[in-house]
Amino acid sequence: MLTYPNLISALRLLLVPVFAILLIQGQDTWALGVLAVSGASDWLDGKLARALDQGSRLGELLDPAADRLFILVTLVVLAVRDVVPLWLVAVIVGRDLLLTVVLAVLVKTQIGPLPVHFVGKAGTFALLYAFPLLLLAQWPGTVGLVAGIVGWAFAWWGVALYWLAAAVYLFQAVRELRRRRDAAATAGGGTS
């Protein structure tokens, strides 16, 4: 449990409140720095886990938890600051709530969480790039203009990929639940 990748993921989780406070206080440059460190640590923990063969179930849970928390906190604070519209918060948080319910059903039926799909990782990646760019879009001049255009492009791609990943996860969940039901019916002597 005390592996380098897990410690890095735990540190990333600890950076979430630091990031939120900086963002709320309007210290955007420092907040962007924390976000950059978080992004680098997200890459580093995965790289170390593979290189050192230190992958773990805890790491599989910590890494996406840190990503989701950063996305949620960033979204809420950016919405409070009127940087992003509330509909964007609703679309992203709604997807996560839906998958939380699906996960609860899977855990209750002892299937457990399904593996993370590449599309979901790509959606998370796009959103984690979109938010700092949308924050930079508040700056005057060319930097703000370019950051806004690129940030919204990442946001739209991120939302699309996020929901596509949700559809893939729902399909996998239904397939696993049907497989479990069919196995139970077969074991119980039932016929289909």
Nearest of 96, 87, 74, 73 to residue 162 by alpha carbon: 96
Q: What is the pLDDT of residues 49-101, one digit of tens each?
A: 777 776 666 666 667 777 788 888 888 988 998 889 999 999 999 998 998 89
Percent of the chain topping pLDDT 90: 29
What architecture (CATH level 2) is domain 1-82? Up-down Bundle (1.20)
Mean per-residue pLDDT, 151-177: 93
* Digit-coded pLDDT (tens) for 15-46: 889 988 998 898 988 988 888 787 777 777 77
For the chain, give every domain's residue range.
Answer: 1-82, 84-185
pLDDT of residue 163: 95
Inform me whether the pLDDT recorded for 146 exceeds 70.
yes
Q: Distance between the two ends of the chain, CA-based, in angstroms?
A: 44
Q: Between residues 192 and 33, which one has the greater pLDDT?
A: 33
Q: Which residues contact 55 (CB under 8 A, 6 or more apart)?
A: 5, 49
- DSSP assigned state of 101: H
Q: Are 49 and 59 in contact (CB under 8 A)?
A: yes
